[in-house]
Amino acid sequence: MPPGADFFPYLGAGGMKGAAEPGMYIVVIGLGEVGRHLIQVLEQDGHDIVAVDQNPDMVRYIEEHHDVMTLTGYGAGETVLEHAGVARADLLVAVTDHDEVNLIAALAARQAGAKKTIARTQGNEWARSRQGVRYGVLGVDVTINPSVLVAQELVKIARSHGAVEVIDLAQDRIELVQVELTEQSRFLHRPISTIPLPRDTLIAAIVRQGDLFVPGGADALQPGDRAYLLGRPSDLPDAEDLFTSNREARRACIVGGGVTGEMVAQSLAEEGAEVLIIESSRERAEQLSAKLDRVTVLHGDGTDTRLLQEEEVGTYDLFAAVTYDDELNLMAALLAQRMGASRTAAMVHRPDYMPIYRQLGIDIVVSPRTVASDHILRYCRRAELKSLTVLQNGQAEVLEILARKGCRAIDTPLKELSLPRGAIIGAIVHQEQVAVPRGDSVIQAGDTVIVLTTVAARATVERLFRPGLL
């Protein structure tokens, strides 16, 4: 539909879902993979939500699966925005597949009175910056480019010693990395308390057969587990080395020369890695070859077995398939894995495919839509909650919480704090100092605290940090 045109808005019959505590009033425009995931999480958190899309089928899906208000219409149209109540919205999130719609909707909502607006941008014109998250662009509070965010995540993984996921916390002063354990991994079948982890690191969670839990000192690691290690970025490589034999990616092969592939290649080449890009479009391959000085670019099919063998992809530390075709990415990564590549990565645009890719043996599975959702959710928080990261399809969350004066968590040794089962305090940021705490550590008013918690334990954790609930 052309800009400026409106469907007659239809206000769905779903009611506003009340919460025990006042939530935010949030308008979500665009009900694709990102929008649906956002609504699922936001509804669980008790926010009041209006879901908007011009596709009646998308709106009908939300009405059938969620108890939120719905609106059918063109998301950047003045009438639709007015009916959605953007003038009183705490947050408007525009995540359609069209950059122009997202930007216009966010800007119009901001001018109408919305307190904060977020727009997803994904076209090449918006990908020239290496910043996956930008502030104040064209008057929009936050713009998020999923392709750039995925590239950043893959670069962090490439720098690690075997991690399959890397999450930055506390302004990059703490990292949470996921490593996969095999039969050859050391320190299996023994209590975690006896593993000689570096001082400022810990095992924060374990994923076993798809289920995430926070371990105790008596729990033991098993083959097939995925362990979340938390600590200072400088110490985590030594912790990773306890469980994997992988190294940082000194040689990387990338299938797909789009925004994500180009940025991964450029970043790794600047750090001295040997990088090969395989791109199916001759025109794009020629552009990349002229643009990237220290990167080898081949025009070819990333699933061509003969080509992969000729380029000896089995000798690479990292093989990443990041085209816009999910099936091609999966096939290319499986071929590289069979040929012996140390770590394989595949980009998937449908988040529900991610578990299947992992079951098939792909080491690293990244989704632009999931990455975008996770970043957006960081802005849907109470005052004391500084950021939120979702783990394992919502089974757990990592919270960055500001410990305010008057909350129960301060001035008490952690061993006496009575944290609920399923929660662990991973780090305390005191002024400029960051520490992975021990039992006798004490949280002070004004500290930022990193907490990993299962969904079941989250409410209890939040009460510990809420002022006035002594």
pLDDT exceeds cutoff 50 at 4:
no
- pLDDT-derived band at 10, boundaries 50, 70, 90: very low
Residues 307-332 have a mean pLDDT of 96
pLDDT digits (tens, 9 = 90+) for 99-154: 999 999 999 999 999 999 999 988 656 545 667 888 887 889 999 999 999 999 99
Residue with tokens 């800007």: 107
Residues 430-456 have a mean pLDDT of 90
Q: In percent, how much of the chain has pLDDT > 90?
A: 59
What average pLDDT is seen over the chain? 88
Residues 435-442 have a mean pLDDT of 89
Residues 417, 155: Cα–Cα separation, whole Å: 38
Domains and CATH numbers, the chain: 10-144 (3.40.50.720), 151-241 (3.30.70.1450), 251-369 (3.40.50.720), 376-464 (3.30.70.1450)
Q: Which of 136-140, 215-219, 390-394 has the lowest mean pLDDT?
A: 390-394
- pLDDT-derived band at 15, boundaries 50, 70, 90: very low
Q: Which of 213-217, 367-371, 374-378, 416-420 has the highest mean pLDDT?
A: 213-217
- pLDDT-derived band at 359, boundaries 50, 70, 90: confident
Q: Which of 63-72, 237-246, 351-360, 412-421 has the lowest mean pLDDT?
A: 351-360
Q: In percent, how much of the chain has pLDDT > 70?
A: 91
pLDDT exceeds cutoff 60 at 436:
yes
**Environment class of 244 (CB within 10 Å of its CB; exposed 0-12, middle 13-18, buried 19+):** buried
Q: Which of 17-26, 45-54, 197-206, 394-403 has the lowest mean pLDDT?
A: 17-26
Residues 355-375 have a mean pLDDT of 87
Q: What is the pTM of this model?
A: 0.82
- Measuring CA to CA, which residue among 229, 222, 89 is closest to residue 169? 229
pLDDT exceeds cutoff 90 at 391:
no
pLDDT exceeds cutoff 60 at 205:
yes
pLDDT exceeds cutoff 70 at 1:
no
- Measuring CA to CA, which residue among 107, 117, 151, 155 is closest to residue 132? 151
Residue 128: per-residue pLDDT: 55
Residues 13, 353: Cα–Cα separation, whole Å: 31
The CA-atom distances, in angstroms, between 237 and each of 178, 241, 246 are 12, 6, 10
Residue 2: per-residue pLDDT: 38
Residue 20: per-residue pLDDT: 35
Residue 14: per-residue pLDDT: 45
Q: Three-state SS string across the chain, please?
A: CCCCCCCCCEECCCCCCCCCCCCCEEEEECCCHHHHHHHHHHHHCCCEEEEEECCHHHHHHHHHHCCCEEEECCCCCHHHHHHHCHHHCCEEEECCCCHHHHHHHHHHHHHHCCCCEEEECCCHHHCCCCCCEEEEECCEEEEECHHHHHHHHHHHHHHCCCCCEEEEECCCCEEEEEEECCCCCCCCCCEHHHCCCCCCEEEEEEEECCEEECCCCCCECCCCCEEEEEECCCCHHHHHHCCCCCCCCCEEEEECCCHHHHHHHHHHHHCCCEEEEEECCHHHHHHHHHHCCCEEEEECCCCCHHHHHHCCHHHCCEEEECCCCHHHHHHHHHHHHHHCCCEEEEECCCHHHHHHHHHCCCCEEECHHHHHHHHHHCCCCCCCEEEEEEEHHHCEEEEEEECCCCCCCECCEHHHCCCCCCEEEEEEEECCEEECCCCCCEECCCCEEEEEEEHHHHHHHHHHCCCCCC
pLDDT exceeds cutoff 50 at 328:
yes
